[in-house]
Structure 1
């Protein structure tokens, strides 16, 4: 039979599994009587763990949410996942909090787990983005995700790309982290259509509005962001006919670089863009497939120039005559 303290930890570990636990099953697991289980439940409640009980043949015990956060028990994989998540957190405003939580967690990690976490930290080198993304406060993300979860209308001040300010009222659906930015996909009440908003450009107004019946967008939210947001961020865009199957081209294209639309079994259209036409030309060359470009004109002109340059680079040149004249 386990000692009281060890038994309480074992009981807590069982209760943290999201299900109802009949008292008799807990007693069998802990090898004690149901009366001992009831006494242990009371001890956990006294320590701040909100253990709820329901009566009847289908009743039992389960761990609920309380008014304060009690200590948690994590298994090995959960502890490693939390530690890695804290090390790689990129949300603005929680960096110091993440470090404090990580220090507390690593202090109690067993050596075998600490070695796994430290190995990843010591033997990986993060590459910073080419441009730092705009900062988004953790409070803003929390407010938006809560409105999505609770299906509550949201009002916020929004600054457009031209600096114009508007007040928007939406039915929030999902938050999407894409590249260096966060985006909110929502149904815009006034425009009666789906819209995508950059989170760093909005300021939520409180309190939130009335609840609404959620509706499903016509396409996957990630696909929507890929098609709309990435293209809007490019200075130069192109619609390229690629003479290759869509699945083969898709395998070579990072979603942040473009999207692929099948035309038939042997051709597809690549919607892509970049900050410069030179970058566009490089990306197309790396496809290693035949393609046709008719627009934009500056890209067509650059490809002609590069074609002539490469042709000159491969022409045979007469060898120099090293003899004295």
Structure 2
């Protein structure tokens, strides 16, 4: 029997057993069912033992196949650990970093992080995709995703970077020429600029333990926070905006904060990636930079 170890073949067999199907394993490995079947048959011939029991209805693992599967898993885990250890010996980030983020947060925040990272890591190039769809970073080949909001249970690793806090803002001219806004109830007499979520326009405002829900029809409903900011700057009403977007405009005198302390709940921000155990130096360095930027206030 030829006892030489072929790691690619071993990975194919492990995929078949894990997925319980030649077809599913082939899809995950980016190949075709016939090739996966040939590889497993070749392994059985080389090992001189039947690893899988095949029928028209189901695929099952033989006793020998189960023992081989468990040992193969140990070998592959050790091989991955060895490769990761070698990679970690080079602490300098290098290569292509593929990342994704939401359109607005990417444009207004992640852009600055990328610029700082590229200055810090001269051997790294970045490919960024800003989109509001939920990207499958594993199957689409991304190294890291920056996500705002509560994370779904995806099985991926994540590191909390911080949170986005919010406030209510209007142009100084609007505040001066409109009725006084002293309580949340006063908002119902004002022009509101609301961002729509799945066709619904409302705010659930918190202030400590107090909760108020605003469900009035807005003067203007938009699907973009940047659009809401622009309309507020034009003096058209009160908008609910993230502080990272609004506070510089308050400092510049272009916006005023109304009802300080009232806002929707802060949204957590995470960096999401495949594995926290075997992080590529470029991924680890970028995530560390993002965390540092949040701690420094942006």
Q: Same fold (TM over 0.5)?
A: no
TM-score normalised by L of structure 1 = 0.26
Greater Rg, structure 1 or structure 2? 1
